[in-house]
Structure 1
Amino acid sequence: MSAARLLVCYGGTFDPVHNGHLAVARAARDLLDADVALVPAHDPPHKGPTRADALQRAEMLELALAGEPGLRVDRRELRRQGPSYTVDTLGELRRELGADAPIAWLVGADSLLELHTWHRWRELFTLAHLVAVQRPGSEVDAARLRAQAPEVLAEIDGRWLPPGDLAASPAGGFALLALPALRPESSTGLRRRIREGGDWQDWVAPAVAAFIDRHGLYRGPADILPASPHPSQR
């Protein structure tokens, strides 16, 4: 049994980071009694090009997390060439932290339903636990998984753990993390508000709002992005 503190990795484009992202990170920290690393993707294989570049997105994350205990930015995917595959990131972390360190990867409910499209997705469970965020209105249960992602349900069957048990083992478990309230923020909606001159500053940390204004971000054409050149894999 491991006595080490659980590390939860929260990956994404964070284009830009908003208060909804911070609410998820804080909930993971507080409800799982964990340290949380937010991992910005350099080349997200499941999405088109980002609007802000990788360093700008990482800098906004650093600004948003300043003074937040237990939350930090992990820039390792920015230093790696090629698609930002989760299995590669977790492999690096496992080599660094050792075989016994408890690690979890945090995903949203929609991502859980697409997990079987991720690169070498079954290997994720040999490297870490998987935690799916349950947002009000987008809950995932066995019936929905059976209907939409039977391969995922078959893989996680037998892996379900209470969230509080994740720190007791290094990898292999699956848990649901229920958020207490529905958040209005989304990166797409935030970029639209900025582009159209609507109210948006209260969706982000003040330092992030100042950064966006200073660099003139998200004020160009609408988010009509070309299809990703990579398969829909994370």
Structure 2
Amino acid sequence: MHVIYGGTFDPVHHGHLRLAVELKERLGVAALSLVPCHIPPHRDDPGATSDDRLALLRLAIDGEDGLAVDERELRRGGASYTAETLRQLRATLGDEEPLVMVVGTDAFAGFDRWRDWQAIPELAHIVVIARPGVELPPEGVPAGLIRARGCRSVAELHQAPCGRILPLELPLLDISATGIRERIAAGRSPRYLLPDRVWQEIRARRLYRASQGGEGGKAVKQPLINS
């Protein structure tokens, strides 16, 4: 079974990484691929370039054998559409390999506004991670899809190549990339919210208006353009 976990990773932090490890173990796979998007179609442009975000992600997972980076959306350029990514993967994996994409309930709530969303369940299974405080409106399309395609166990994902939706609750760290960017822009330290090597590299590259000076990596106090 091939599992992908996509996002902007702007920047990658411990919440992303711990969720990836929990997913790998819960789904019973040897590896999980993190897929950084190039241009997110449903939110503002990232605060760091694709190359910078990729470099930070590589640093974050260095030495963790069960996590890998899939660069296909960055190489493809343009807006990053999930259906297109899944078609590329399906062409490589063949028709019989179970393919799983991971999404949080906050993102899945707008699933029917995604480009070519109807094709996605025909290409992959969907694991929907519960987010605290986020409920799907029962009359909406996403909740209807779970009722129609929902399954109750990971074993069911292994039994078919695509088409099933598994709601899943996992231990989550309450960390947001937005909060980290805001801390850096305000001159506050984000240490222990993300790997030290990632924070050091953010300072070295002066990302999110961070400077290299000071133990805390104090930032230039300017407002963020992208939240």
TM-score (normalizing by structure 2) = 0.89
CA distance, structure 1, for counterparts of residue 60 and residue 163 of structure 2? 31
CA distance in 1, matches of 2:175, 2:146: 29
- 1:64 lines up with 2:60 in the alignment: yes
TM-superposed deviation, 1:139: 5.2
Question: Are 1:213 and 2:203 counterparts?
Answer: yes
How far, CA to CA, are the matches of 2:37 and 2:143 in structure 1? 26
Is the 8 Å Cα contact of residues 28 and 177 (structure 1) preserved in structure 2? no
- Overall identity of the aligned pairs, in %: 38
| Amino acid in structure 1 at the alignment position of 2:86 | L
Name structure 2 gaps, 5 residues minimum.
210-219
Q: Which sections of structure 1, spanning at least 5 residues, go unmatched?
A: 1-5, 227-234
1:23 aligned residue (18, 23, 33): 18
Moved more, 85-94 or 19-28: 19-28
CA contact (8 A) 2:123 2:162 kept: yes
CA distance in 2, matches of 1:225, 1:18: 18
Give me the whole-angstrom Cα distance separating, in 1, the residues matched to 2:72 and 2:17.
20
* 1:164 matched residue in structure 2: 155
- For residue 187 of structure 1, report the CA deviation from its aligned partner: 0.5
Matching of residues 83-98 of structure 1 within 5 Å: 83-98=79-94
Q: CA deviation at 1:130?
A: 0.5
SS in 2 for 1:176: strand
Which residue matches 1:124? 120
CA RMSD of aligned residues (A): 1.6
**Aligned residue number for residue 105 of structure 2:** 109
- Give me the whole-angstrom Cα distance separating, in 2, the residues matched to 1:159 and 1:109: 16
Equivalents in 2 of 1:90, 1:222: separation in Å? 37
For 2:200 and 2:98, how far apart are their aligned partners in 1?
A: 37
Rounded Cα–Cα distance in structure 2 between residues aligned with 1:86 and 1:122: 11
- TM-score (structure 1 length as normaliser): 0.86
The yes-or-no answer on 1:41 pairing with 2:37 is yes
The residue aligned with 1:186 is: 176
Larger RCO, structure (CA 8 Å, separation 6 or more): 1
Misfit runs of 4+, over 4 Å: none
CA distance in structure 2 between the aligned counterparts of 1:204 and 1:113, rounded to whole angstroms: 27
CA contact (8 A) 1:20 1:184 kept: yes
Task: Letter of the 1:70 partner, please give it.
Answer: G
Alpha-carbon deviation of 1:23? 1.4
Q: Deviations along 1:12-42, whole A, 9 cap, x unmatched?
A: 1100000001111111101111221111111
Given that 2:47 and 2:226 are in contact with CA atoms closer than 8 Å, whether structure 1 keeps it comes out as no
Post-superposition Cα deviations, 1:194-233, rounded to whole Å, max 9, x if no partner, equal 111213121111211111111111116433449xxxxxxx
Range with bigger deviation, 15-24 or 156-165:
156-165
What is the total number of aligned residue pairs between the two structures?
A: 214
For 2:169, the aligned partner's letter is A
Q: Quick check: 1:145 aligned with 2:137?
A: yes
